[in-house]
Amino acid sequence: MAQFTNQAQLTYNNTVTNSNVAVGEILEVLSATKTAVGNTYGPQDNRVTYIISIINSGTTEFSNITVTDNLGSYTAGAVTVVPLTYRTGTVRYYINGVLQNTPAVTPESPLTISGISIPAGGNATIVYEADINQYAPLATGSTIENTVTITSPGITPITASETIAVETEPVLSITKTISPVPVTENGTLTYTFLIQNTGNTAATAEDLAAITDTFNPILNNLTVTFNGDAWAETTNYTYDPATGLFSTVAGQITVPAAAYTQDAATGVWSVIPGTSTLVITGTL
């Protein structure tokens, strides 16, 4: 329910008299909610589905409704950035649960969907998808809040917001290199494993990270280091010289969290991965 006020003014013989302030109320018959399917986001799981539900509790149809979504727009330093990108062609529009023709869509921020109608006593549902982009914050505790505004001639604009939070977990990848190339027969070969974490949380022993590799050709007389520290067989890893199967003990691999920086001029976030290195040397 929206309240409005009005005051009149009476003038006569160079005299001005104000009336009392009259207070009225407008009973709003449209209401709206916005919901995200899944309340978290991450750099790898980067698609979000939003559902807007608009209910008309009145006895008159509403037409020419426009829905705008700011796609999470926020100010970063001197620039305004938008952390969500609408996925072209994903809008679905339903009246009372029945799929309608796709309405007119302007994808740029703010995302604009126009030509929506809602029958008396009915409802409209709008579903669409957006991608997390380079303006989305990824540090622990970060969120994206985006607001939808519903307008139409003769109604008070209605807003609805939804907030999603960044996932709090490690995100690991691994790269393997061989040195030297080529290697001589009966020579010494080194495998180097670079483990990177682009997540906002360190990978700790509780995450039970482990590396398994079957060396071919089989290596003998292994020496193993992790981040420069010598590792001991059985305590930190196991190795079968008959098959070449190498496995780290679960939980021995740990990787620090990534660091995130935002460019003050562009608002773009960059990721500096946390890293750990496993080095295995043996003879052929």
Mean pLDDT of 246-267: 96
Is residue 221 over pLDDT 90?
Answer: yes
Mean pLDDT calculated for residue range 128-139: 94
> Measured between alpha carbons, how far is 72 from 47 in angstroms, rounded to an integer?
14
Tell me the mean pLDDT in the region 251-258: 97
Question: Where are the domains positioned within the chain?
Answer: 25-166, 172-283
DSSP tally for the chain: helices H, then strands E:
0, 26
91 and 113 in contact (C-beta within 8 Å)? yes
**Mean pLDDT in residue range 134-139:** 94
Q: Tell me: the pLDDT tens digits for 156-209? A: 899 999 999 999 999 999 999 999 988 888 899 999 999 999 999 999 999 999
90: left (phi over 0), alpha (psi -120 to 50) or beta: alpha
Contacting residues for 108 by C-beta, under 8 A, at least 6 apart: none
Q: How confident is the model at residue 244 (pLDDT cuts 50, 70, 90)?
A: very high
Is residue 3 predicted with pLDDT exceeding 80? Answer: no
Phi, psi of 206 (to 5 degrees): -65, -20
Angle at Cα 270 formed by Cα 278 and Cα 204, nearest 5°? 35
pLDDT at 234: 96
What average pLDDT does this structure show over 16-25? Answer: 76
Assign domain 25-166 to a CATH class.
Answer: mainly beta
Task: For 47-90, write each residue's pLDDT tens digit.
Answer: 999 999 999 999 999 999 999 999 999 999 889 999 999 999 99
Looking at every residue in the chain, the average pLDDT score rounds to: 92
Kind of pairing between the strands at 245-248 and 74-76? unpaired
Rg (CA), the chain: 30
Please write the tens of the pLDDT for every residue from 86-123.
999 999 999 999 999 999 999 987 999 999 999 999 99
Is pLDDT larger for residue 42 or for residue 193? 193
